[in-house]
Amino acid sequence: MSKMMGMMAAMTVAMSSSLVIGTVMGIVMSDMFYSTVIGVLFGMLAGFISGYSYSMLASMDGMLSGVMGGMMGAMLGVMVIEDYPAQMILFMDVILIICMSLLYKVIEQEALRTRDQSITVTED
């Protein structure tokens, strides 16, 4: 797969997962600082792991997306504590499932495209 695909995959995994973790931690802990720290660290780890096999650039891109998602998730979680916390967690989970499903389809299409190109090259 291409480096751009690796960067996109790392960004998607890190951003969506750290957004969910940050939101849940903000709601559960009711503390902005610790929920931000947990969300950011989780996002950085997810971004590093998901991008490392592609390139260091993809890994760095994933880590930065994880930082952003963790901070946004923690802010969202702390803001919705009194309104609709259970509905927000459910909504974030649905967003995560949609993002991961779309990422799976994109990777599948990229793999098929790459396979078709390699078959064409070897036939010549």
Confidence band for 18, pLDDT divided at 50, 70 and 90: very high
Q: How far does the chain reach from its first CA to its final CA, in angstroms?
A: 22
pLDDT at 124 over 60: no
Residue 2's region, left for phi above 0, alpha for psi from -120 to 50, else beta, is beta
What is residue 14's predicted lDDT score, i.e. its pLDDT?
Answer: 95
Q: What percent of the chain clears pLDDT 70, i.e. is strictly above it?
A: 94
What is residue 95's predicted lDDT score, i.e. its pLDDT?
Answer: 93
Place of tokens 């971004």: 47
Rounded-to-integer distance, Cα 26 and Cα 88, Å: 11
Confidence band for 115, pLDDT divided at 50, 70 and 90: confident
What is residue 30's predicted lDDT score, i.e. its pLDDT?
Answer: 86
Residues 47, 66 contacting (CB under 8 angstroms):
yes
What is residue 83's predicted lDDT score, i.e. its pLDDT?
Answer: 85
The count of residues in the chain is: 124
* 80 contact partners, CB below 8 Å, separation of at least 6: 27, 88
Confidence band for 91, pLDDT divided at 50, 70 and 90: very high
pTM attached to this predicted model = 0.83
Q: Which of 63, 68, 39 is nearest to 50 (CA)?
A: 63
Mean of per-residue pLDDT scores for the chain: 90
Listed range (83-87, 91-95, 111-115) with the worst mean pLDDT: 111-115
